[in-house]
Structure 1
């Protein structure tokens, strides 16, 4: 099956050379169900936060885009309270921009950019979008509060560890941080370029 061969290559690439501030792994050894973490970008309201996402790979992948959803609540115009993301890359043409040449790594990097640079003209959360456009200082304050409340509850000491035990630990750690009940809208997450240590 084309999907299986393609996903094996993609998962290997994500383990060997993950994008800055992003990690991704299979959940329960299933190639069609992935988990990912995006680290809040430096200089954004999400700095210092760790955002967990789940990724479902459809049967027709790569001819259909993956389904990606935030598990960690985030205050963002383009991410709703259920974690759904409004992003062209995640939609089929003509309304979307998905192409079979794109991959999970590209999608996660694009989501990381969306976190840092929201698109208020195509919002899922109208109230947050209006706040972003007309009262940006208040938006930043709210986003920082959500970041501190939901994305900084647990610290992951080895975010890019490639051994299986570390990946399992990562998953368990993020279950605690992301397993909160949402009573307010959820927003999008930003990627953080980690400093070399």
Structure 2
């Protein structure tokens, strides 16, 4: 193939990606999911901000959670990279905000396919928040507690939500997870998007140990709202 042919193919692929992304965003704006709001990031067409409201009958009720969603260059053939920016206590979400969800993993290990959409992905994420999967955790200690003492887990998750994500009066999302700086956080999420096509285990890197989770709980106890 000539360089001109390759450039034309890349240009057409980029246009197709942006066209599909625009359609998906328009659908989310005109027919929004309950408790879910999606925004573009100015001057960053491949980055979205998602604001989720916790369901009333869950430990996350009253919480507003900010997520970062990055669209990879080969979307929809690669899944988006998605990460919580607001702290949340959940067996399938680690302290860095990484999410263990099949739909965020490429096949064959995951279930992402080009037929899926951002809307479908967000629906599955909301379902995961309502129904944690203790069989495939990022936080093993939380998964064990969810199985063996669910009321205690729900109390902890509710307290965590009040500390970090309760902003019902202002309508704004809760506290962002601590990062060295925003550029590093975005770079980390971009690396997740790139790595998702190379390894099915990308979303499960670096699970936090039970000891680390307890230290994190202790260090923020004085900041109870």
Residue number in structure 2 paired with 1:68: 82
Shift of 1:31: 2.5
Gapped runs of 5+ residues in structure 1?
158-172, 187-197
Residue number in structure 2 paired with 1:178: 175
- State the number of aligned residues: 169
Residue number in structure 1 paired with 2:165: 151
CA 140–10 in structure 1, closer or farther in 2 if over 3 Å, else same = same
Residue number in structure 2 paired with 1:125: 139
Give the TM-score, by structure 2 length.
0.71
Shift of 1:37: 0.9
Residue number in structure 2 paired with 1:45: 59
Deviation readout 1:47-77 (Å, 9 max, x if unpaired): 1111110000000000000000001110000
Whether the aligned pair in 2 keeps the contact of 1:40 and 1:47 (CA below 8 Å) is yes
Residue number in structure 2 paired with 1:162: none
1:81 aligned onto 2:95: yes
Residue number in structure 1 paired with 2:71: 57
The SS at the match of 2:28 is helix
Give the TM-score, by structure 1 length.
0.80
Shift of 1:153: 3.8
Shift of 1:156: 4.3
Shift of 1:149: 0.6
Gapped runs of 5+ residues in structure 2?
1-14, 180-211, 217-225
Residue number in structure 1 paired with 2:33: 19
Residue number in structure 2 paired with 1:113: 127
Whether the aligned pair in 2 keeps the contact of 1:92 and 1:98 (CA below 8 Å) is yes
1:28 aligned onto 2:42: yes
Higher-helix-fraction structure = 2
* Larger-Rg structure: 2
